[in-house]
Amino acid sequence: MQFNKLNNLFGWLVCAVACTTYLITLEPTTSFWDCGEFISSANKLQIPHPPGSPLFILMGRFFVVLFGDNPQTAAIAVNSMSAIASGFTILFLFWTITYFARKLVLPASQATPTGQQTFTILSAGVIGSLAYAFSDSFWFSAVEGEVYALSSFFTALVFWAIFKWEARANEPRADRWLVFIFFMMGLSIGVHLLNLLTIPAVLMVYYFKKYKFTRRGAFIALITGCAITVFIMKFIVQSTIRGAGQFDIFFTNEFGLPFFTGFIIFFALIGAGLLLAIRYASRRNWYRAKLALWCALFVMLGYSTYTTTLIRSNADPAVNMFSVDNPISLASYLGRESYNDWPLFYGPDFTERAPFKKAGEEYVKGEKKYETAGPKYVQDWANAPGAHFFPRIWDNNDDRNQKACYYNFTGLEEGETPTMKDNIAYFSRYQAGWMYMRYFMWNFAGRQNDLQGYGNPRDSNFISGINFVDNSLYGNQSKMPDTARESNKAYNRLFMLPLALGLVGLFFQLRRNNKDWFVNTLLFLITGIGIVIFLNQSGHQPRERDYAFVGSFYAFAVWIGLGVVGLISFTQKHIKKPAAAWATAALCFFAVPVLMAQQEWDDHDRSGKTLARDLARNYLESCPPNAILITAEDNDTYPIWYLQEVEGVRRDVRVVIATMIGNDWCIDQLRYKVNNSAPVDVLFTKEQVAGNKRGVVYFNKMQGFDPEKHYDLYESLKNTVASDDSKYTTVTEDGETYHLLPMNKFSIPVDQAKAIASGAAHNGEKIADQLLLDFSGKNYLFKHELAPLAIIAANKWERPICFASSQTASDYGLGNYVRSKGLVYQLSPVQNSEVDNETAYANVMNHFQYGNTHKSGMYLDETNRLRLNVIKMAHVQLAMSLVKAGEMEKAKKVLRRFDENVSPANMPYGFTSNRGNQHNIMSLQFLHACYLAGDLELAKKVTASLRKDLLQQMEYYRSLGEEPQSDDELARNAYQLIQGGGASLNNHQVSFANDILSSFQLLNQVSEWEKQPAAL
């Protein structure tokens, strides 16, 4: 059989293997993080968060229709799209590897490979592509409805296509491949911008093929490739939309023409200009200029998928992030202006805050024209007093304990002034080391566990699987708690074999074909360290970010394949028998892709898991009819969107996102009906909260207002904050107007009949006449705090108001006026009533679902465990409240329900966690509830699991020390350290001070309860 036929056949075979693997292991419903948002958006062609992904949404919708346009299959459809896109990524990787391998194996004078050479080339393709198929980060994205799988597909397609062009570059019309490449890049912008990072590598292939190599020429080609990347990202993606927006303002405001007139004229002019330029270049026989113009035109054509974002946003869909219904908001959407900015090459350290500067006027879409809504502000990084080149430790917020991260990874002491040396140390140790190289090694060396890593030797480090290596890096690994090692399914030992084979391929390609090596190295570095430099990640990210670097891991997988060629070449040189090549290939096959599949399968198999969907169901079913549900973050909001928008569950509930409600678009969307949810009275008019208006309201004492009196919240907001009376405003030197609140204590009158009707209270309960709020400890309210208070005040007990987290209610001063209905907390005029026993019991026992976690072999990663613990605590809170009410049997049933529906094999009660023993603390509260309810059998089960993990933790912490210590001594030293005193702990133990102390205290508490359960 001809080589090309075999190459195609084996390519499709590995594609089939990859597709089958991903389809078998994909999650059948939504996953956590952004997946619920993307599946909801794809199902109804809605608008996800900036900078959007219109092509992903369109393709997702196609798959939904392909799967029957059925709510029950929509998630499987979008997840399957990711699986199939990932499988085709493996196909193009296979063909890329065999292309490189063929050039390494065949002499320049030989056109067709021999049978032995064919075997070597195909072996390289199979082993390298399957190694990537079974790699940790890529497999994770392949089985969920997120953009990264489809983005990887476009990266693989473009990288393969440039070599198709290279092989045919001297043929007529071969440059059609180049136009195709840039069209694919344009399309990929509608998925994710990562694909554009292939441009420098593409340009280098073009240079090596078309020009005689010189160092100066290669450098110019490299700079040109980088310049084209920046040009597309900044000019085509952002500046053209900004320009179109300015045109639209001009034609709409100056000539009274309809919205989008200027937008259409702008792009019509660009299109006409490009076509005229192409015609002119053709007449002058400027072939390369014409080719470049055609490429630019097709980038724009591919990028045009964003017009669907404008069209769909104007239809006011339920998921309509940032209301991208006009060119001005589209420009902000693409520029991610709603998210925090960061300095790239010049800025200050975290010890100072960069000033803000005006960046023009903010325009919003009015009834018939664009209206100004105040100035825009951006942080002026370059003009901070301490600004310097290459600022890495720049973030002076501390909401994620960023400062501790800076101290840990630089060696800075509190109060010291950072230097350039500290910035370089942070870049090399944290950004490049911890946040990139650690992920790289996860994929090709091994992974310790799935606990999010913050820099200590226990959590989520890379490992080799070789004891003496890992012990030298992190201490005695055999002393690790079982839940952080042996029984943690993310404990993957690859023995550095994929890494070793990849390094063989890297050096083999460098020696045999340094031009191809340079191209692949460029892709590897730009999609790895290049992204690290660009992202400039601040300390302690909210989640692991390995998915951002899969392009770099893709390039390394090429070298894994070429490593097979290198090893076969070596064995053939020393062993002349043909069987040597077969044996070498077989050894590589079992040592790399087979080993990776065996190690990675159990922590990537999501088949059957429905926890994200079931968590959302528990939230929604806990809400009374027509409730307003205020959510706190991605992982409680997006699964709820999925359940409402895709499966149609509880569409009467209106979701308000606490972290986004400070945006005018989010407030405005509450004004219209969504699904079965009536409009919400937000108190303020659209004009009053447009843009940055009322972005912050300051408390300011005024004559005539008693600082000790509680003023009606609705009247106060309506008559002062919503007023433009100069009495309640102040104007700065820059001419900006700020609104003032002359009082900081408020009341919310209670309509008892409506409160009872909404389920906020029951007949016979002690119902307060008013809710009292006290903000005397605050100087101002931001819009994201003001808007929920306005909604609550204007609601006047008409609709139930619920919170996904009691902490959110406390943030609004309402912590004493909410009570649990199951998994949500309803605003209630019954003060300090923590649980509505009757309603919560009915919800937990009749509606709660647990994500199939009772089934054996279900893998729950840290995010899943955290969410399942939220459900656990709902059971604890209800059970304790029932015990307090004397309903012991009901309390037992509640606790048993959780125990029966969550297998301890999937999530033990005792489990090492990285948030100060948070998991075990929650299980201790569950244990406490068991004792209070009198369920000693269940208490014994929980005790055994907790004790086992806590004892193992203490043994591990002791093993890290240089001197033997008892548990008492270790805990005492940890306590002294936490209190700021000296302690006999080494560096490894210092990082676990809180865990040491909490483990010791938890153990003592468990033992005390076990000895005297009756005393509880």
HEC sequence for 313-358: HCCCCCCECCCCCCHHHHHHHHCCCCCCCCCCCEECCCCCCCCEEE
* Helices and strands, counts by H and E, the chain: 40, 18
For residue 110, the model assigns a pLDDT of 85
SS (H, E, C) 45-97: CCECCCCCCHHHHHHHHHHHHHCCCCCCCHHHHHHHHHHHHHHHHHHHHHHHH
User: Does residue 545 sit in helix, strand or coil?
Assistant: coil
Cα 438 from Cα 553, distance rounded (Å): 12
Which one-letter DSSP state was computed for residue 816? G
Cα 704 from Cα 726, distance rounded (Å): 16
For residue 915, the model assigns a pLDDT of 78
Place of tokens 């409160």: 755
Place of tokens 């959407």: 333
How many angstroms from the chain centroid is the CA of residue 698? Answer: 34
- Asked if 78 and 26 count as a contact pair (C-beta separation under 8 A), the reply is no
Low pLDDT (below 50) residues in the chain: none
Cα 434 from Cα 439, distance rounded (Å): 8
Count of C-beta atoms within a 10 Å radius of residue 991 = 19
Two structure tokens written together for 612? 């994200």
For residue 820, the model assigns a pLDDT of 97
Region of 33 please: left (phi>0), alpha (psi -120 to 50) or beta.
left
Q: What's the pTM value of the predicted model, to 2 decimals?
A: 0.95
For residue 341, the model assigns a pLDDT of 86
Cα 951 from Cα 974, distance rounded (Å): 16
Cα distance between the two ends of the chain? 79
**Nearest to residue 867, comparing CAs of 807, 907, 900, 914?**
907
Length of the chain as a residue count: 1016
Burial class (CB in 10 A: 0-12, 13-18, 19+), 725: exposed
Cα 983 from Cα 790, distance rounded (Å): 51
For residue 1016, the model assigns a pLDDT of 66
User: Does residue 63 sit in helix, strand or coil?
Assistant: helix
pLDDT in tens, 516-538: 999 999 999 999 999 999 999 99
For residue 1015, the model assigns a pLDDT of 62
Q: Using omega within 30 degrees of 0 as the cis cutoff, is the peptide bond preceding 51 cis?
A: yes
For residue 467, the model assigns a pLDDT of 94
Strand 801-803, strand 628-631: pairing: parallel
For residue 981, the model assigns a pLDDT of 82
User: Does residue 447 sit in helix, strand or coil?
Assistant: strand
**Nearest to residue 604, comparing CAs of 836, 447, 419?**
447
For residue 916, the model assigns a pLDDT of 83
pLDDT in tens, 555-580: 999 999 999 999 999 998 888 788 89
Two structure tokens written together for 253? 């405001």
Strand 711-712, strand 745-749: pairing: parallel
